[in-house]
Amino acid sequence: MKQKALMVLQYTPGAIKLTEAQARLLFTDTDIEKGEQRGETKSIGPWQIPVTYQALCTSNIFYRDTYPVEHGPLHVYGKRVLFDLKASGYQLEGRVKVNGVSRRGFTSTQLFELPNGKLIDAAIIHACGAAEAETAAE
C-alpha cells in the first residue's frame, strides 16, 4: 500500500511555519535546542566516498508558467535515504523512494519556524515530482 505524505504544509517564503505537534513529529528535542537537523552520510573506503545520505524528505510543486515562480504546498514524507549518489558541487544527487517509486532527488536545506518563533534549519532531500504525482492521484 502506498503511503501519502506525512504532512502537507502551506508554503511561505522564508521559513515554513509549523505547529508544536508538527514540530514534534519532525524534530527531536536536541534538534529544536540546537536549531538545526543535519543529514547523515554513510561513506566507504579511504577516500570516504558517499554511498547513502539520510535526511527529511520533502517535495514541492513549482508552477513554472508564472513569474515569479509560485510554489504549491510542501509535502513532507519523513526521513528517507538518498542512494546511488553523485556529488554535484556542494550538493548530492541520487535516487530516493517515495510512495514505492524511485525518484530523482537532491540535497538542500529548508528553514522551519516553530510557534514560539524559533527557527530550525533542516537538511532535506528534495524528491522531484513526488508532490505532483501524489496530487494527480487524488
56: region left, alpha or beta (phi > 0 left; psi from -120 to 50 alpha): beta
Does the bond joining 115 to the residue before it have cis omega, within 30 degrees of 0? no
Residue 11 C-alpha cell reads as: 508554503
* 32-89 pLDDT tens trace: 999 999 999 999 999 988 999 999 999 988 777 767 777 888 999 999 999 999 988 8
Mean pLDDT, the chain, whole residue set = 89
* Mean pLDDT within 87-100: 90
DSSP three-state, residue 133? helix
Q: Which residues pair with 74 in a beta bridge?
A: 9, 60
Q: Give the length of the chain.
A: 138
Cα atoms in the Cβ-side hemisphere of radius 13 Å centred on 78: 9
